Structure formats: structure tokens, C-alpha cells
Amino acid sequence: MHVVTKAALGTVGAGLGVLGWASLVERNAFRLRRVSVPVLPPGSPPVRVLHISDLHLLPRQRWRAKWVKELASLDPDLVVDTGDNLASYDAVPAVLDAFEWLLDRRGVFVLGSNDYFGPSLKNPLRYLWHRGPAPERAPSTRLPVESLVSGLTDRGWVELTNRRASLQAQGMRIDFVGVDDPHLRYDRLDLVRGPASPEATLTIGVTHAPYQRVLDTFVADGAGLVIAGHTHGGQVCVPWYGALVTNCDIDPGRVKGLSRWWVGAGHGHGAPVAPSSAAPDDAAWLHVSAGLGTSPAAPVRLACRPEATLLTLVARQPSGEADSELVGRLR
Ligand SMILES: [Fe+2]
């Protein structure tokens, strides 16, 4: 066989192998990340927050639903769901069943574009260059978002779409401020703006997509922590390098996991964003989930396992030394 033919066959074989891994193995290799966030006043007891996001569930995906259902065994104080739960019109009962035991816990949620609209086929390469809000949508299935919302709120979870709310955890008042999906430009920051209450131990901002305008507003109003999803962690990443894109206007260094955000960290669309290592001492914390699923239109994950996160909110050290050590590990 000619050497060029051999090389071509080898390249095709390797490509098929990577595609098989990404679509059949890694996409279903769920993991739980555990992260401590030093965001509470000194002396506060820890608060365990389970962050779930981007489930993108189809009714036939029973393995994924079972994995989510068993997260209740973590016994979280609060659950935060940052949206994109649905992947088909008939998925609401499956989502509510997956959340069945978590719905016994206090919880809050916001919605993502995939709670409103069904997946539509699009050029997957567009994901690699498009960073702004979603363009005008081609016609696609309108999903039963009202049934999803009533199913969650009937069990006691609090909807945060362009709303504020307060919950109790470990004897402390925790305030939440949330927006509808900024990727669809549904966020109404004008409805939720206002200084954080001094009576709350902590204010947490919640958004599906972590656009800079939302992060800036939450943080300027006094949120100490912002929780988001949407990025899928880059979804198709380069092994030993990381994400190439975030599908919004934050930088790839913040595409998943814990980082810092402060007013001035970003400089607008297309401009460099300051790294977490440049954060001032009073910067807020940002947690972005890589999410649990993918759109059925792009069912692959590479170097980016699906995940949920147990955030343990802990007391700040009075000296700030622990914060400095943690920040040193952030990009
Ligand atoms: Fe998503």
C-alpha cells in the first residue's frame, strides 16, 4: 500500500476513534466536582450548594436521569439549576422525575434557551467563531416551558427569571438575584437591579449564560458569588490545553469551574479580559458549570466531561491568606 494511502487511512481511523470516544464514552462519563468557595463572613457555618446545569434531557436518556436523581444523596442545603433542562417537547416528565428527590430540597432556578426552544440543526463550526448573543432564530419547536416551571415551583423551587428571592440555609439569610437567559437577550436587569441587602449574609447572582453585562451588574450591586451554566465548558476541547470557545463574551479561562469577577475585569466584546490572578481582594466569585448534557444536534464532548458541582460555601479567613492561596490556582 502506498505510504500516502496508509497515512490517509490512519488519519481517518484516528478521527473515527476520537469521534466514537467523544460521542459514546465521554458524553456519558458524568462526574461530581467538589469546590470550596470562601465567600461567607468569618465564623459562618458551611453551606452546601448543589449546582446542576444544561441537562438537555431526552426521555430515553435514563442513565443520565438516574445519575442526577442520586445526587440527592449528597444532602445539599440548596440546589441551583442554571437552565437548559429540556431537549424535546416530551421531556418535562423525565426532567421532573430526574429531579424528584432534589425537589425535596430548597432550590432556585433560571431558564436557558433550550427550555424555550427545541434543538435545531445548525452548522456546528459556527460554534467555533460565534461569541455574541444568539442570532435571530430559525423556526423551531416551542417547548412547554410553562409545564416545566410549574412542575418545579409546585414542589417549592423558586423561579428567578428576572426576579429576586431570599432563602434560609444553616440559619443564615441568602438572597438571590436572577435573570432570564441573556443569550436570548431575555435578561431584564432593570427589573432586578438594586444594592444587596445588608440583612442578607450573602447575595448570589444566578444566570444561565455568563455574559459580562450580567456579571458586571450583579457584582456592582453587591453579589458575592455568581453561578452560571451555558458554556458546556467549551464542550469540544483540546486535550491538555482546554476550551477554545465559551459561546458568550467571557474568556476561555473562565469557561468552567471557579474564578473571580469584578467590575472592570472585562473590557467589552472582543477585548482582553483580566485573569482571576489580577482580582482585587473584594472581587466576587464566579462558578460556571460545564453542564450535564449536550444538544441532540451536537452529541459529543471531548476533554470536557459532563458534570455537576457541590459548592461548599465556607467562611473567609480573616487574614485573607486562604483566599490568596486559592486565587493562585485560578487562571
Ligand atoms: Fe446548554
pTM for the model stands at 0.91
Residues 126 and 75: beta-carbon distance below 8 Å: no
Say how many Å lie between the CA of residue 30 and the centre of ligand 1: 15
Residues 167 and 158: beta-carbon distance below 8 Å: yes
- CA-based max dimension of the chain: 76
Residues 87 and 59: beta-carbon distance below 8 Å: no
For residue range 184-237, list pLDDT tens digits in order.
999 999 999 999 999 999 999 999 999 999 999 999 999 999 999 999 999 989
Instruction: Of 111-115, 156-160, 169-173, 278-282, give the lowest mean pLDDT range.
Output: 278-282
Say how many Å lie between the CA of residue 235 and the centre of ligand 1: 10
The proportion of the chain whose per-residue pLDDT surpasses 70, expressed as a percent, equals 89
Say how many Å lie between the CA of residue 187 and the centre of ligand 1: 17
Instruction: Of 6-20, 218-232, 277-291, give the lowest mean pLDDT range.
Output: 6-20
Residue 253 phi/psi, 5° resolution? -65, -20
Say how many Å lie between the CA of residue 17 and the centre of ligand 1: 25
Per-residue model confidence (pLDDT) at position 136 = 52
Across the range 110-139, mean pLDDT stands at 70
Say how many Å lie between the CA of residue 323 and the centre of ligand 1: 31
Judged against a pLDDT cut of 90, whether residue 3 lies above it is answered with no
Residue 309 phi/psi, 5° resolution? -130, 135
Say how many Å lie between the CA of residue 208 and the centre of ligand 1: 9
The proportion of the chain whose per-residue pLDDT surpasses 90, expressed as a percent, equals 74
pLDDT band at 289 (very low <50, low <70, confident <90, very high): very high
Instruction: Of 33-47, 177-191, 295-309, give the lowest mean pLDDT range.
Output: 295-309
Q: What ranges make up the beta strands (E) of the chain?
A: 31-40, 47-52, 78-81, 106-109, 158-159, 163-169, 172-178, 202-207, 225-228, 257-261, 284-288, 307-315
Say how many Å lie between the CA of residue 56 and the centre of ligand 1: 7
DSSP structure class, residue 27:
G
In the structure, ligand 1 is a single-atom ion and the residues with CB under 5 Å from it are 54, 84
Q: If phi over 0 gives left and psi between -120 and 50 gives alpha, with beta otherwise, what is residue 13?
A: alpha
The topology under which CATH files domain 3-328 is: Purple Acid Phosphatase; chain A, domain 2 (3.60.21)
- Distance between first and last Cα of the chain: 48
Per-residue model confidence (pLDDT) at position 251 = 93
